[in-house]
Structure 1
Amino acid sequence: MRISVPTIPPAIISSATSTKTISKTAAVERIAAFLAPGNVATVTGAGVSVDSGIRAYRGSKGIYLNPNYKPIFYHELVDPSDKGFAFRQRYWLRSYLGYAPVRNAQPNTTHYALAALQYTKVIEKLITQNVDGLHHKALSDVWDAATMRARILELHGSLHKVHCSRGHVYERDVFQDWLSAANPQWKAYMDDLEATGRRPRTNPDGDVVLEEGVRYDTFQVPECPTCVIENQHNSTMKPELIFFGESIKPAVKDRSYLEIEECDRLFLVGTTLATYSAFRLLRHALELKKPVLLLNVGPTRADPLPGVEKIEISTREVIRDVVRAVLGSRVKEEPVVDKMLQSGIIKPPPEDV
């Protein structure tokens, strides 16, 4: 079995040229004009969460920020053999250390600006490739869980739930406590990291980079307690996110296609579209002759495609002004929207500033 990490074709990166510069004013006007008619579907990627301190996979040149990135693939994680157990030990140790920074991250100005457009139904549906839950946090004061499920589709799942191979689901914080209890030495190490403000390099999926020589074979992965009650021994635990080499659930795929079909235009934000699950949504929109606007800094998989209008400028520079231009007087008339446009952090990872 040969499965590779999704990436932008090298030919696109090597042929990338500097996008024609655009002023902030011109960018705001163009994006606002695109969004103003409403009924917009939006697809977001890792670039949207960078200002929340969550590092993107790829930098402005379209290549991986961590050249030694070696993710665990789906077939490795669920392998029932001893080899698979070793992969789970490696995954869960690294994810155990990396989960807290993602869990504690706060929505940034882009999350809140998009939330304002969602709240006012300019953006009818939002499809995110991110597993951090930050779009939900930005709307948590005004939408209930059912509304969020209906209006936000997590294309690649969520880091905040865990399930065993037999389908028993647990909150990630609960599973995190189980990992702490089973691994007191790593709990002490994590407490020391938090006390000193140190933070290992963390990928958007919560996986951290550890120094060479770390022993994974002593890390204990607890068994599913429901399986134990049912007289089954099962330590094959997995976060509810899509791993490389894993297929998206048919219901999620079908819904993502339907949301593209029902929209009038497609707005892509902070994504290189390297993963096919997102790229095929763009392809579907183009096949249906939908207008498409891409807001991203750096090369993307969509760059060679006719029918894609691209604006290359930092989202944080323009998105709140875009919302003000689209909504006009409604910003001050609706306190919820006004508050959203005054909310959000800007704390990108220091290495990527």
Structure 2
Amino acid sequence: MRAHRAHICILVLLPTLLLAACSPAAGSRPTAVISYSTRNPLLTTATPMPTFTPTPAPLGSSENPLVMGLIDANPLQVQLDALEELTAQLSTFLQMSVTGKFFLDYLNLEAALQKQQVHLAWLGPVEYLLASEKGLLSSQLVSNHLGVTAYGIQYVAHKDSTLISYYDVGSGKATADAAIALAQFSGMRPCLTQAKSLAGYWIPLAYLAQNNIPTQAPVLTYTYSAAMRAVYIKGICDFTATYAIASDPRTSSEVIGDLPDALDRLPIIWISPAVIPNLAFSVSPQLPLPLTVQISDYLLQLGRSDSGRSLLSELNQYEIAGLEAMPDDAYSDLRELLAVTDVRLIDLLP
């Protein structure tokens, strides 16, 4: 009986042993082993493809022209024609592509300058100071307007006041320093035009501040003629200040028509040097110096002919009797004066 059971067990186990013998050994099975000492090429990041950077077209080419900028929200047709004519002349002279554009305001022009989309510009003193302090433009030429390239201011008071005049009518110059002449205004009240005016507001206050002369808050009259009438009738303010050197507003038709004796009744107490440059032509400092010289020389020659002066005057709607070389340091006195005030140049923009 026991032998019979043993025989049965052998028969049951035999197939199992045969199947195990035919199966591959566990140790021979292939396994995926990741080696951390050898870099797997399949896991390596691909080398980035180089990005394409287009080469800018040469400055002065048709794809990248020199651009002359001016500020005028609504330029007249005569201005547009003058700009087209001037840029065409420059294109022929330089053998380069030159175009022009009128900008709505200074801020739009400044944005174009910062992007190097404008290379040449005609600007007034406030706009130039803003552009130059950011290194966007460098002065090259200044316009001769009414016989001068810059103007100043004059302080005017009533003849019946006790103020002493430090002004020589013959030479048109002051006979004393500002510190001496203006000390008489201490504690007095001026009539000034309005807070966006250089000659009618900020420069008069600057000379007083520069010489530590306190005055009362100004009465704003908004025009030079109204300021002089206020001084003439007395009781409103003690003195006023107007632009000077280029012309004398005391002789304007608005004043002489109402106050025929204005020159006698409203004497000049003191007159400043010419510290405010006229309309100027400036270039981007990014331009090569030889190119800057070429452009400036051409415009200087243009301003020496009747047709050239007419073209420049029509372009700017400003009487230009010629152009003269003017470096950036011609603005030094103006910068020093404004530095003693709390003016923000951006607030003086139209």
TM-score by length of 2: 0.27
Which structure's CA Rg is the greater one? 2
More strand by share: 2
